[in-house]
Amino acid sequence: MYTLIAQITQDELAREALRLQHDYEFLTYGLIAAWVVLAAYVLMMIGRQKKLKREIEGLRAMVDEKQGR
């Protein structure tokens, strides 16, 4: 086993470390992209909810105004 380890050169170790780093980098990009898309959609939904709330309040004010006349 030690003979095998001794056969691994510094270059090979560096290449393996670089490959791992690159792999983790892309896995992270993948996860971030997935969460960003879903989070953006949830934020869009919250924005729409607020808009609907404003519209309802506007309509209530309009109805109150008409009843006041």
Partner 1 sequence: MRDKIVYLLGIVAAAILAWNTWAISQLPEETAQGVTFKIIFFHVPMWAGAGLTVTLALLASILFLITKNFAFDALAVATTEVGVAFLTAGLVTGSIWGRQIWGIWWAWDARLTSALLCWILYAGYLMLRHAIEEPTQRATFAAVFNIFAFLDVPIVFFSIKWWRTQHPQPVFWNQGSFPPDWTRHFMWNMLAMTLLGVVLTVVRFRQEEVQREIDAVRRTAHAF
Determine if 12 is a binding residue for partner 1 (CB under 8 A).
no
Strands (E), the chain: none
The span from the CA of 42 to the CA of 52, in Å, is 15
Determine if 15 is a binding residue for partner 1 (CB under 8 A).
no
Determine if 38 is a binding residue for partner 1 (CB under 8 A).
yes
- What secondary structure does DSSP assign to 7-18, as a single string? HS-HHHHHHHHH
Determine if 49 is a binding residue for partner 1 (CB under 8 A).
yes
* From candidates 52, 61, 64, 69, binder to partner 1 by CB under 8 A: 52
Per-residue tokens: 63: 């109805």
Binding site for partner 1 (CB under 8 A): 19-20, 22-24, 26-27, 29-31, 33-34, 37-38, 41-42, 45, 48-49, 52, 55-56, 59, 62-63, 66
